A and B are shown apart, each in its own frame.
Chain A
Amino acid sequence: MKLVRQDITKNGAGSVKLVPEEPEDMWHVYNLVAKGDRVSGVTVRKVMRETASGAGEAERVRLKLEVEVETVEYDKVASVLRVRGKNMLESEHVKLGAYHTMELDQQRPFVLAKAVWDAMAIDYLKQACDPAASADVAAVMMQEGLANICLVGASITTVKGRVETSIPRKHGPAVAGYDKALNKFFENVLQAVLRHVNFAVVRCLVVASPGFTKDQFFSYMMLEATRRDLRPIVENKGKIVLTHSSSGYKHALKEVLAAPAVLALIKDTKAVKEVKALDDFHTMLANDSSRAFYGPGHVFAAHDRLAIQTLLITDELFRSADITTRRKYVDLVESVKAGGGDVYVFSSMHISGEQLQQLTGIAAILRFPLPDLEDMEL
């Protein structure tokens, strides 16, 4: 994302002008825009115009509007943001206070004004505008008969394609159909890879599966690539990494991100750090359950005792419509950081973030055990 102009102070009012550049940027904007903010930009609106005969005629007009945000909607598939609110800018076509839904899209500049820029928002802005943070990994999660083609970005994981074929077993009358079905399945996966994976963008393509499916697919892909002269594959052979996963489902991605071969390539990305942090939390919970807690009740209680070493929190919680709730979480994050603790803000669009979201969205690893907290119902 491009930051064109900024005029903000911490915990004060201010505005920034931004230009989203990638699909992932829309996700960042979604996290930045909160209820009560003002968003202004060029938008399109259908206006009624009276003709001479008195009949109404609709016309689409491009105009600049400023809305006070009431709801924000993120469309993951199209990667656009819809911001709905009351118009705040006088205009010849739209009355003051009339509702308008503004669509924010890539390459369309807009100005975001907030009454208060808190630490989280500033952090997020920095992160969103840091080009080095974006690292794309494409992963083909496979098992016999099922493949998911995923793109793992800095803060979003998207499933681009899903191939599902039923493969007969090897015995009986269907034995001839086995190889045929398997080849057809591989062909479908290959087509999906060609369509969705842009080797110019991704750092590597990971092919992961249990058993030998990945090897079979790899040899099929290479064979076909040479035979049909599929340039992207032939040229990027070095970018393809094979690794083991327990299944072809999306949530096995966390195994892939933890695999040494992949880790070496994407060491410092957010996704990997998140996976690691959540793993640590699980391990701690298994080994010493009085040092790992989840749920706002327990975590805030632990924080009261200054016990939090690592705080795991999803961005979903900051998106809360209620200002005081957001304030509460922002203060928690600030205070943990001030106390020397680590804070990981998980993207709820990653596998690990999804998992943390299921787990109430907030968890903490403590410095010292709090056994009494364990028995408390909070």
Chain B
Amino acid sequence: MPRKWRQSDFDDDGYDDYDEEDYYEEEEYLEDKEPTSTSSVVPGQSQSFTSTTQPTATEVNEPETEEGLWACPVCTFDNSLDSLTCDICDTPREDLSEKVSDPSTSSKEKAYVVTEVQRVSPLAKALFNPLPGTKSDQATASLRSNMPVLYQKSWGKVADSSSFSSKIVPFKFDTPSPDEKNLAARGLKKSPIRVAQSPDDILNGARSSMAKAGTSKSISSAVSKLNVPGLSQSSGASTSESHVGNGSSSAPEGELADALKQMNVGGDYMESKSRENADASTSTYGLSLESYEPEPWMLKDANKDSRQLLHLIVVGHVDAGKSTLMGRILHLLGRVSQKEMHKNEKESKQQGKGSFAYAFVLDEGAEERARGVTMTVAVAHFETPKLRVVLLDAPGHRDFVPNMISGASQADAAILVVDASIGAFEAGLEGEGQGRGQTREHAQLVRSLGVEQLIVAVNKLDAVDFSKERFDFIRGTLQPFLKQCGFKDGSLQWVPVSASEGQNLTMASTESALKAWYNGPCLIELVDSLKPPPRLVARPLRLTIAEVMKTRTLGPSAFGGKLESGAIHSGTKVRVMPSGEIATVKSIELQGQQLKTARAGEGVDVGLNGIDPGMLAPGGVVCHPDYPVPVATRFEVQLLTLDIRTPILKGSQVILHVHHARQPARVDQLVSLLDPKKGTVLRQRPRHLTANQSAIVVIVPDEGVCIEKYSDFRALGRIALREGGKTIAVGIVTDILERK
């Protein structure tokens, strides 16, 4: 049966809302803005802003947006010059003489600034003034004095990135890169309108790049990160080379790009009243994120270990051989001692499961061994020439998908293990009876939980005599499906392996039947080629609690989890949400080894002092005391429903999965039905949602849940809804409506 969103064209801008692909929002905004859309402030501003820096460079494009438009002082909607009143709010057009320039702007820049500020109302300016209490280091301060008021807030927002990057090079207007031009040009030329969707999408793009910049260890890396994954991916693989080439352009480029996006945010913020309210409420619950300033110890020697950390999750249908494959690799890499291996072999033979010897490396639980099924996410570590890999072995059985979700929320990349033997692959994809195949469900989940890079390991090829036809058939069947899930061609890799024969795992295959047609990299080489995402070291602390434990070394109040942002060292004061209790970090451990500090991206075990163990629970978040994570009791999400039989109605009971939290929740309101491809509103207040639809809904969890707006913090803003043992929808948090 064809599915609506599967019919999407497979070129790179065929992504629908479901792919909250890291840079895709940026792409959206590139393509969807045009002079008459609400958010067209953006290309206009960015264009003119760029032109202030180098009038000659971009003049070509400038007139198209600059002229023929005037910004409404009330709603900031860009109207055409033909109309005398605003199309949106009927405010009469103001005389151009009312342009305001900011006194703090240096005279040299004033001329440009005037053209900027005319688009912005006093209200808007007031809104974007920095908070009185906002901290800023010297560099940012100096930046601010050089900038019109409008941008001050924006810079405040990137405080962490700018302060930290501008330590090296103070901000100056510089030559716009080809990226910028490209960006601007695309922004002007593309025509489709997407009024309904704009604010959040743009927010997403902007915040994400801000976040990325925040973690960059040096200016150049900031630039390359902004350019490479951001622009090149969004504008398609074809242009990626040229962008990479620009990676070496000067520092302010990255910042400029940031600034542009931030303005963008600004524009949309003004338009959306609810956003203002949200902002206001943020300030009443702890400090706003913008005022956060990382401490020096958090940043320094972030780069000490040249090998970066990568969390890799192994997913796939039950009995595809995930655990065996990983056990074999760990054995081949020498991570499992001969003695242990011998023990495993003996035990598996005793239980009459000789083939499970390698799986027993990861499946340590008695129950798991007895049944030959992985039940919880096992963690193992190994190293490749470039990476320190944290391996998460997910259960494939459909009853343990919740555990898999919890593991996948930590992952940066994934290996999808597919059983090549006849019948098994088909079962994994199509599923039998009520439970759909987990190959399908896992791929969708992993993608929606933020994993972009995927290696497909076609396992058990020995069972089909290393047949190329079988491999190609599987690839041909899976590829379109994975694309619909939102994986890009460039980040999908395919490798034929055989775990039981040990073929093509850590070194090229020795099997002649396989060698005959495959001479690509082996699995470990592919893993080595994965790129760890940038880490948000310079953001306030967010450490999700995956499990609570009690150990001799860490004490009674200990937990394991992944640092999503920020850093901790022993003695750090932290706030444990949702209870809000304050505690002190007693000690940090990684694989049983004591650590002094742990930074974003690392999965660690932490012992706390001064807190009751009962206050810790999986799904909680350990935060910076002044920047607690919101505990939402009602929030709005943008959903994409999967293959569901029973429709989602107002009042549907679901189980909400966010990072490690799982909780019963109900759908409180179906706000609007969206076009899955364009994101435009098809219908307000739909009666029900059926399979493969995109919609905005309001969700009320039974208790407060630690969650963030996707635009603010991706890792804590992705959700999955499950019901009756099936994943029914995935989505992103667009707004928090009520909180504790």
User: Does A191 belong to the interface (CB within 8 Å)?
Assistant: no
- Give A223 Cβ to nearest chain B Cβ, in Å: 15
Q: How large is the interface on A (under 10, 10 to 19, 20 to 34, 35 or more residues)?
A: 35 or more
By beta carbon, the residue of chain A nearest B683 is A375
B426 at interface by CB-CB < 8 Å? no
A212–B592 touching, CB < 8 Å = no
* Contacts A166-B617, A175-B364, A289-B687; A251 near B553 (Cβ below 8 A): no
B618 pairs with A212, CB closer than 8 A:
no
Q: Which residues of B contact A244 (CB under 8 A)?
A: 399
Bound together, the chains give a CA A178 to CA B368 distance in angstroms of 13
As a 0/1 sequence over residues 653 to 681 of chain B, the CB contacts with chain A under 8 angstroms (1 = contact) are: 10100000000101000000000000000
A169 engages B605 (CB within 8 Å): no
Judged by a CB distance under 8 angstroms, whether B376 is at the interface is: yes
Closest chain-A Cβ to B375's Cβ sits at a distance in Å of 6
Selecting from B185-193, B204-212, B719-727, the interface stretch reads B719-727
Contact with A along B261-273 (1 / 0, CB 8 A): 0000000000000
Q: Is the CB of B650 within 8 A of A359?
A: yes
- Quick one: which of B550, B666, B690 contacts A358, CB cutoff 8 A? B666
Complex alpha-carbon distance, A171 and B560, angstroms: 11
When C-beta atoms are compared, the residue in chain B nearest to A176 turns out to be B551
Interface of chain A residues 325 through 352 with chain B (CB within 8 A): none
CA distance A354 to B666 in the complex (A): 11
Answer yes or no: A238 CB below 8 A from chain B CBs.
Answer: no
A216 on the interface (CB 8 Å rule)? yes
Let me know if A210 and B651 touch, CB within 8 A.
no
Q: Cβ of B722: which chain A residues have Cβ within 8 Å of it? A: 246-247
Q: A168-B548, A169-B376 are in contact. Are A294 and B649 (CB under 8 A)?
A: yes
Partner of B397, one of A166, A211, A283, A285: A211
CB contact between A169 and one of B397, B399, B547 (< 8 Å): that residue: B547
Whether, in the assembled complex, B591 has its beta carbon less than 8 Å from a beta carbon of chain A, the answer is yes
Q: Could you say which of A211, A250, A289, A377 contacts B664, with CB atoms under 8 Å apart? A: A250
Known: A211-B397, A286-B690, A289-B688. A178 touches B365 (CB 8 A): yes
Give B160 Cβ to nearest chain A Cβ, in Å.
Answer: 32
Chain B residues with CB under 8 Å of A174's CB are: 547, 549-551, 560
Q: How distant is A316 from chain B, measured CB to nearest CB, in Å?
A: 13
Chain A: CB-nearest residue to B614? A166
State the Cβ distance, B118 to closest chain A Cβ, in Å.
42
Q: How far is the CA of A249 from the CA of B722 in the complex (A)?
A: 12
Which chain A residues lie closer than 8 Å to B379 at the CB level? 169, 171-172
Asked if B646 and A171 sit within 8 Å, CB to CB, the answer is: no
Q: Is A374 interfacial (CB-CB < 8 Å)?
A: yes
Enumerate chain A residues within 8 angstroms of B371, measured Cβ to Cβ: 212
Q: Are A247 and B655 in contact (CB under 8 A)?
A: yes
Of all chain A residues, the one with the shortest Cβ separation from B664 is A249
Rounded to whole Å, the gap between the CB of A113 and the closest CB of chain B is: 36
- Does the CB pair A212–B649 fall under 8 Å? no
Question: Closest B-chain residue to A170, C-beta based?
Answer: B365
Say whether A357 contacts B651, CB under 8 Å: yes
Q: Which residue of B lies closest to A182 (CB)?
A: B367
Residues 354-376 of B at the A interface (beta carbon under 8 Å)? 364-368, 371, 375-376
CB distance B649 to A166 under 8 Å?
A: no
Cβ of B368: which chain A residues have Cβ within 8 Å of it? 170
Residue of A179, A211, A255 near B399 (CB, 8 A) is: A211
A293, B366: Cα distance in complex, Å: 50
Within 8 Å of chain A (Cβ to Cβ): is B300? no
Q: A166-B617, A285-B688 are in contact. Are A210 and B725 (CB under 8 A)?
A: yes
Q: In the complex the two chains form, is A172's CB within 8 Å of B724's CB?
A: no
Interface residues of A in 51-87 (CB under 8 A from B): none
Query: Does B112 interact with chain A (Cβ within 8 Å)?
Result: no
**A357 (CB) vs chain B CBs: closest residue:** B651
Task: Tell whether A355 is near chain B: CB-to-CB under 8 Å.
Answer: yes
Asked if residues A170 and B376 are in contact (CB atoms below 8 Å), the reply is yes
Question: How far does the alpha carbon of A171 sit from the alpha carbon of B723 in the complex, in Å?
Answer: 28
Select B400's contact among A170, A172, A210, beta carbons within 8 Å. A210
User: Quick check: is B378 within 8 A (CB to CB) of the other chain?
Assistant: yes
Q: Say whether B377 faces chain A, with CB atoms less than 8 Å apart.
A: yes
In the complex, chain B residues whose CB is within 8 Å of the CB of A97: none
A308 to B670, CA, bound (A): 25
Q: Which residue of B lies closest to A359 (CB)?
A: B651
Q: A166-B547, A169-B376, A210-B400 are in contact. Are A246 and B649 (CB under 8 A)?
A: no
Are the CB atoms of B400 and A211 closer together than 8 Å? Answer: yes
- In the bound complex, how far is the Cα of B662 from the Cα of A246, in angstroms? 13
Question: Per-residue CB proximity of A230-245 to B under 8 Å, as 1/0?
Answer: 0000000000000010
> Contact check: which of B364, B550, B591 meets A170 at CB < 8 Å?
B364
CA distance A171 to B685 in the complex (A): 47
Pick the most buried of B380, B646, B649: most chain A CB atoms within 10 A of its CB.
B649
Indicate whether A12 reaches chain B with its CB closer than 8 angstroms: no
Which positions 611-651 of chain B face chain A at CB distance < 8 Å? 616-618, 644-647, 649-651
**Complex contacts, B645 vs chain A, CB 8 Å:** 283, 286
Chain B, Cβ-Cβ closest to A216: B367
CB-defined contacts of B651 to chain A, threshold 8 Å? 355, 357-359
Whether the Cβ atoms of A251 and B664 lie closer than 8 Å is yes
Closest residue of chain A to B371 (Cβ to Cβ) is: A212
Q: Does A160 have its Cβ within 8 Å of any Cβ on chain B?
A: no
B687 touches A179 (CB 8 A): no
Q: Does any Cβ of B come within 8 Å of A131's Cβ? A: no
Give the shortest distance, in Å, between A197 (CB) and chain B (any CB): 23
A212 touches B725 (CB 8 A): no
Interface hub of A143, A169, A279 (most chain B Cβ within 10 A):
A169
Contact with A along B450-492 (1 / 0, CB 8 A): 0000000000000000000000000000000000000000000
Most B CB within 10 A of own CB, among A168, A250, A294, A359: A168
List of B residues within 8 angstroms of A210 by Cβ: 399-400, 402, 725
Contact of A359 among B399, B402, B649 (CB under 8 A): B649
A268 to B379, CA, bound (A): 48
B548 touches A282 (CB 8 A): no
Separation of A252 and B653 alpha carbons in the complex (Å) = 9
Q: Mark B578-614, 1 if CB is under 8 A from A, else 0.
A: 0000000000010110000000000001000000000
A159-199 interface with B by 8 A CB criterion: 166, 168-175, 177-179
Residues of B contacting A216 in the complex (Cβ-Cβ under 8 angstroms): 367
> Which chain A residues border B365 with CB–CB below 8 Å?
170, 178
Q: Is the CB–CB distance between A355 and B690 below 8 Å?
A: no
The answer to whether A172 touches B592 (Cβ under 8 A) is yes
Separation of A61 and B551 alpha carbons in the complex (Å): 60
Complex Cα–Cα for A194 and B419 (A):
46
List chain B residues, Cβ under 8 A from A377: 685
A211-B375, A212-B375, A374-B687 given; A173·B553 CB < 8 A:
yes
On chain B, the residues within 8 Å of A279 by CB distance are: 646
B668 to chain A, nearest CB (A): 8
The distance from the CB of A279 to the nearest CB of chain B, in whole angstroms, is 8
| A356 to chain B: closest residue by CB | B651
A282 to B646, CA, bound (A): 6
Identify B550's interface contact among A177, A246, A251, A355, CB under 8 A: A177
B323 CB to nearest A CB, Å: 12
Nearest CB on A from B335, distance (A): 13
The minimal Cβ–Cβ distance linking A243 to chain B, given in whole angstroms, is 13
Residue among A173, A285, A358, A360 with max Cβ neighbours from chain B (10 Å): A173
Chain A residue nearest to B592 in the complex (CB): A173
In the assembled complex, which residues on chain A have CB atoms less than 8 Å from the CB atom of B652? 355, 358
CB A162 to nearest CB in B, in angstroms, measures 12
Q: Please, which residues of chain A bring their CB within 8 A of the CB of B688?
A: 285-286, 289
User: What are 18 sample pairs from A and B whose C-beta atoms fall under 8 A apart?
Assistant: A166-B547, A166-B548, A168-B549, A171-B379, A171-B380, A173-B551, A173-B552, A210-B402, A246-B399, A246-B726, A255-B724, A255-B725, A279-B646, A282-B649, A285-B647, A286-B647, A289-B687, A358-B666
Nearest 5 CB-CB pairings of A with B: A358-B651, A246-B725, A210-B399, A174-B549, A211-B399
Interface residues of B (CB under 8 A from A): 364-368, 371, 375-380, 397, 399-400, 402, 546-554, 560, 589, 591-592, 605, 616-618, 644-647, 649-653, 655, 664, 666, 685, 687-688, 690, 722-726
